[in-house]
A and B are shown apart, each in its own frame.
Chain A
Amino acid sequence: MAKLIGTPQKRKEDPKLITGNGNFTDDIKLPGMLHGAFVRSPHAHAKIIRIDVSKALALPGVVAVYTGNDLVGKVKSVPTMWLLPGADLKPKDRSALAQGKTRYAGECVALVVAENRYIARDALDLVEVDYEDLPAVVHQEAALLDGAPLVHDDVAANLALLWKAGEVPEEEFQNAEVVVKQRLYNQRVIPNPIETRGAVAQYNPGSGELTIWCTSQNPHIHRMVYAGVLDIPESRLQIVAPDVGGGFGSKIATYNEEAVIGHAARDLKRPVKWIEDRKEHFMATTHARDEVIEVELAGKRDGTFTAIRVKNTANLGAYLSTFGAGCPTIDFGLMVTGAYTIPKASVVTYGVYTNTTPTDAYRGAGKPEAAFQIERIVDLFAQEIGMDPVEIRQKNLIPAEAFPYGTAMGVSYDSGNYHYTLDRALDIADYASLRAEQKRLREQGKLLGIGVSTYVELCGFGPSKVAGAIGFQGGVWENSTVRVHPTGKVAVFTGTSPHGQGTATTFAQVVAEKLGIPIDDIELISGDTRSVSMGWGTYGSRNTAVGGAAVAIATDRVIEKAKTIAAHELEVSVEDLEFSNGIFSVKGVPTQSRSFQEIAKSANFAWNLPDGVEPSLEGQSFFDPPNFVYPFGAHICVVEVNVQTGEVELKRYIAVDDVGRVINPLLAEGQVHGGVAQGIGQALWEGAVYSDNGQLLSGTFMDYTMPKARFFPTIESHFTETPSPVNPLGAKGVGETGTTGAPPAVVNAVMDALRPFGIKDLDMPLTPEKVWRAMQTRGENA
């Protein structure tokens, strides 16, 4: 069988994208299409006293203006979809358009619809809104204090949820030889795909069918939610994710704007388009992280860890976003013990409402924060007992023979060889030489730092009964149909919704290898609720491990049926047939054979099928994974800190990742580069900053630092392969490894560089001024 799985292949997606023939949401143009623009609250917290739309309506070219009152009974609030049990959850949903009050700067107050986007923009300035400013609270710890302004009047202390898991007897810490404690702030970051959000909606007044093209990572979830919000049966609501220009978690959530645009199209009986501009995007699309994490690690003088307890105070923003409740609880909490054998662990999470943009998933969603706190505290523990950070890791990493490994947090790590991956990274980095170099440079007053992280993360959620147990409002299985046309060309349908991952290529590699046909004979169909019956989308690194597994199984079912037909035609039993390189042949008699294409024709023409076999050649799978998968890796970062300015120069970055079986190493490496760049971005540059009254100060690309090419050295990416037993491909997930592994590796490196100053910890992002100030005060205030 031609070997395709595990080989680098050029992407099937690229020809349209490199020739300007992509079809992104803003590229869609329909006859009679109108343009929408949203009036947004300039205040973080305010009462709406009066809205006067008359001047806007009078502007030539303006077709309609909607306010919250206009939508009562027509567009419902957009519900959260993660109803975390046992956490006294107080879900607060966003109104389609604000009613009575706005709770964060940027919240939608009105929608203007006009003949073109220029007029729509002009009309925004003509909508008069009188606000009564209310006191705002932006920081989660402040929001929990007595007397803090209440974001929602009926949510006491702004506490949206209180989640606890695991237990550690107090004696574990009282009697421990060593306890290391640290407060860490995992700052608020903004996913910022280069394509902002947007939607185009079209309504057929005759059939009652509504189509919304939108920037979605999971159109079937959008359909399910918007069907309720707009009160349309799912059968009459079509959601299409055309080409999507990156998501990184921000296009998982269901938002109000898309639904309101759908309503406007239905109401006006004309297509309506809305495209976020970047300034809007900064306020209107979900942010992420923003967690104050207090961690205590207990252990022995010899470096053995015995217990960990963690408190996470998470900023959820003004409303509970789609999966907002899950990120700082389940996603975070289950992974706090990291890659180590820590027999006892507990986590408590306070989820807090504030007058800020709601937070939700961003590449890793909770797992990067978990890895960050464990990898930082491990370094601090090593420092406390005077042990090398590598040695302490080697001592505590879960040994290869222990898998599957049940953790203190109650999950079962599927497979791994953590020591081997670390050894590889140490070899590539030449760790001993780096330490010698560091010593030499320190004598010259130069601050070289070496940081290590040995992360593990959880992805490919499953099975669905677990999703149910944790309150996730949906399934986590995945669907694929492999349909063979009469000519032997193949259409692969998937319920995942790729937006840059290269899935059309990787899935084609799987199918082509199995069927023994050219990769070009395969097309992937995804992202359209009319084409694909059901599915759960692309997020949480589930694309290959769950979606790809479904494709593999569906393909096997095609082969199984094709074999039956081939055996019938060749007048032998199925057991006497072998299938190789696209040919069914009688064992030992290679001349007696049928090609896959011949069987495709036979199956579809159905002139001569065996008894009981139905026409056509299709395989389908609804794959519900029996467990999560757990990618892991060892990252080593080398930095030099400039003593005069506090600038951090990245000298080297080594990433050795184990993502299970790699389908396409070229694409996998691309995923690592992108993830590491975002992870380094969080460590060094990125951070959303609010003023005390809730104005987003870092609200454009002029203020919010998106990593640029010149910031990075060549990322040295390598893989080890420990297949996962959880799915037939043996694949884990590669998308989130970088954002999980990189922030602690970088921060550990910078703290290592700053050791001569006695500085133990600084909050991300490690901006030059922050580092410089810490050196100025010699760590006294750090």
Chain B
Amino acid sequence: MIPNAFDYIKAGSIEEAIQLMQESDGEGKFLAGGHSLVPLMKFRLTNPGKLIDISSIQELKGIRQEGNRLIVGALTTHKQLYSDALVKENIAVLADTARTIGDMQIRNRGTVGGNLAHADSAADLPGVALALEALMEVQGEDGKEVIDIDGFFLGPLVTALPETSVLTSISFLIPPSHTKSVYLKYAHPASGYAVVGVCAIAGVGEDGRIDFVRIGINGVADVAYRATTVEQALLGELPTAESIQRAAALAAEEGEIGNDLFASEQYRRNLATVYTERALSRILL
């Protein structure tokens, strides 16, 4: 499979990238690792006239801590993410999730920004980003802005990212120290993508009751979502098998549950419940 012809230009800075995109008259696409874009182009499902390569822009790289957040440059590869000491130490679940993405070759090449900006619910990072209350730091023609992850995924493969803006970095919440977290996924046996992925973060207060819980679910629905009903059902509860089971039963209450050759809507609902229960049991029991 071979993509349509296009022009290619390398951007040296964020500003240059934005300007090149503006000049492309809607024909342009940003190219980072290319692992979301190139496969679509090979199928000719997307046919940009111009690729603006942002992969060498230094400002888009690196991982740093700011208060209770980690700021991850958009160009960080999945491998860099799970190998990074700051990430492993502060947000183990982010590292663990990155380690399960696709396969070794894809993890070496795919980027955090590309993965999230592609807004594929079956990817692994959307769930964890939702649970970690990610803030998408964006730079565009009108300067910088921050888009809350809750408002970022608008539909399958559609985000709130303006076309001429560059996703520069993603800020992830460092979960409170008393919490535990896990990402569990059921991978499609052929594609490796998540049929369901559940990121759960939860902690129990001194009174023995659940005082912090965040659940992001990807794969199940056509857009990844935060399972707020599950969270609410757990807050203030004692962490028991029963309370977890009751709450997990609500896992598929949000979002348009998908349906494909491999898994029907009904089965996906079941998987969402099972995996949410397993994830919560893992960290709370």
Contact = CB atoms under 8 A, between A and B. Distances in A.
Direct contact of A and B (CB under 8 A): yes
A403 interface: no
A704 B190 contact: yes
B1 A277 contact: yes
A277 B43 CA distance: 11
Contact of A703 (B1, B5, B191, B267): B191
Contacts of A689: 261
A279 interface: yes
B85 to A, nearest CB: 28
A769 B1 contact: no
B261 A697 contact: yes
Interface string B1-13: 1101100000000
A279 B261 contact: no
A121 interface: yes
Contacts of B189: 685, 705, 708, 711
A700 to B, nearest CB: 8
Contacts of A702: 188, 190-191, 193
B264 A645 contact: no
Nearest to A765: B189
A701 interface: yes
Interface in A366-418: none
Contacts of B186: 645
A711 B4 CA distance: 36
B270 interface: yes
Nearest to B44: A125
Contacts of B274: 644-645
Contacts of A117: 2
A467 interface: no
Contact of B261 (A125, A698, A701, A768): A698
Interface string A683-709: 001000100000001100111111010
Given A701-B190, A706-B190, A708-B189, A118 B2 contact: yes
B261 A703 contact: yes
A705 B263 CA distance: 13
Nearest to B2: A121
Interface residues of B, number: 19
Nearest to A769: B267
Chain B interface secondary structure, helix, strand, loop or mixed?
loop
A767 interface: yes
Contacts of A706: 190
Nearest to A37: B2
A773 interface: yes
A757 interface: no
A294 interface: no
Interface in A695-745: 697-698, 701-706, 708, 711
Nearest to B5: A122
Contacts of A420: none
Contacts of A277: 1
Interface in A663-692: 685, 689
A769 B264 contact: yes
B262 A767 contact: yes
B171 to A, nearest CB: 32
Nearest to A707: B189
Contacts of B191: 701-703
B189, B262, B264, B271 — most chain A CB neighbours (10 Å): B189
Contacts of B193: 702
A275 to B, nearest CB: 11
Contacts of A645: 186, 270-271, 274
A773 B271 CA distance: 12
Contacts of A772: 267, 270
Contacts of A704: 190
A455 B189 CA distance: 28
Contacts of A697: 261
Interface in B62-84: none
Contacts of A685: 189-190
Given A685-B189, A703-B190, A769 B2 contact: no
A685 B188 CA distance: 11
A685 B271 CA distance: 18
B280 to A, nearest CB: 14
B194 to A, nearest CB: 13
Nearest to B195: A768
A649 to B, nearest CB: 13
Nearest to A698: B261
Interface string B161-192: 00000000000000000000000001011110
Interface string B243-285: 0000000000000000001111001001100100000000000
Interface string A102-121: 00000000000000011001
A768 B4 CA distance: 38
B12 to A, nearest CB: 29
A680 to B, nearest CB: 12
A768 B271 CA distance: 10
B1 to A, nearest CB: 5
A284 to B, nearest CB: 14
Nearest to B273: A644
A773 B274 CA distance: 15
A360 B188 CA distance: 29
Contacts of A708: 189
Interface string A246-277: 00000000000000000000000000000001
Contacts of A279: 1
A768 B274 CA distance: 13
B159 to A, nearest CB: 22
A81 B206 CA distance: 79
A693 B48 CA distance: 32
A277 B3 CA distance: 13
B44, B261, B274 — most chain A CB neighbours (10 Å): B261
A122 B4 contact: yes
A705 B190 contact: yes
Interface in B7-64: 44
A769 B263 contact: yes
Contacts of A644: 270, 274
Contacts of A711: 189
A241 B105 CA distance: 32
Contacts of A278: 1
Contacts of A122: 2, 4-5
A773 B267 contact: yes
A125 B43 CA distance: 12
Nearest to A646: B267
Contacts of B263: 769
Interface in A522-549: none
A703 B190 CA distance: 6
Contacts of B1: 121, 277-279
B245 to A, nearest CB: 12
Given A277-B1, A702-B190, 8 more contacts: A118-B5, A645-B274, A698-B261, A702-B188, A705-B189, A706-B190, A769-B262, A769-B267
22 contacts: A117-B2, A118-B2, A121-B2, A122-B5, A644-B270, A645-B270, A645-B271, A685-B190, A698-B261, A701-B190, A702-B193, A703-B190, A703-B191, A703-B261, A703-B262, A704-B190, A706-B190, A767-B262, A769-B264, A772-B267, A772-B270, A773-B267
7 nearest A-B residue pairs (beta carbon): A705-B190, A702-B191, A769-B267, A121-B2, A705-B189, A644-B274, A277-B1
